[in-house]
A = this chain, B = another copy of it.
């Protein structure tokens, strides 16, 4: 079971960087840049080709349409962002290791983990956030990953902590919504809306953790 899960994950993530021609890799990099800067609809295959240093026809040798190129870039981001919830190892650590045996520990690990991921993938996250509004393929993959993978795991964790800690009587769905809203709100503000503001990341992360922890705490 553990091995099966790992294989599935590794295979999934490998698909992304698998067997890309040097020129194709340049195309993907250029496309990420241009899509992120101008948005999918305003990005021209002409500019992508120029930035990648290839002929425009080369793009369509590897991708049937411009939209195909977008999808091949965006879908893996959804899986990668959800990885902490997908990995068996992650939940094992939560339930086993002492320092992770609190809601606080889970939150801290989660937020620091995703902070690093977003920090290293700002353009990709930006593309995902923007284009999910207009492309049903992205919406469906997103819903599928969250409904089938993230929600059940998060529910498990919540049920576990309900016994050992004093949690508010919110439904697990609401707790997930509030948790993700707060984390995503921080990351989007930090890296997309106000990246030039002088941030004390360590402190802001601590504030954010404390906010979520107290917010989800029960009244007694």
- The answer to whether B184 and A39 have CB atoms under 8 Å apart is no
* A189–B207 CA distance with the chains assembled, in angstroms: 23
Chain A residues 160-196 with CB under 8 Å of chain B are 168, 170, 174, 177-178, 180-182, 184-186, 189, 192
Q: Does A144 contact B (CB under 8 A)?
A: no
A65 within 8 Å of B by Cβ?
no
Whether, in the assembled complex, A78 has its beta carbon less than 8 Å from a beta carbon of chain B, the answer is no
- What is the copy number of this chain in the assembly? 2
Chain B's closest residue to A178 (CB) is B211
Q: How far is the CB of A118 from chain B (nearest CB, A)?
A: 14
Secondary structure of the A contact surface, majority rule: helix
Q: CA of A42 to CA of B216 in the docked complex: distance in angstroms?
A: 41
Q: Provided the pairs A170-B207, A214-B214 are in contact, do residues A182 and B178 lie with their beta carbons within 8 angstroms?
A: yes
**A39-B39, A130-B133 given; 12 more Cβ-contact pairs under 8 Å:** A38-B134, A39-B134, A168-B214, A170-B207, A170-B211, A178-B185, A181-B186, A181-B189, A184-B185, A214-B215, A214-B216, A214-B217
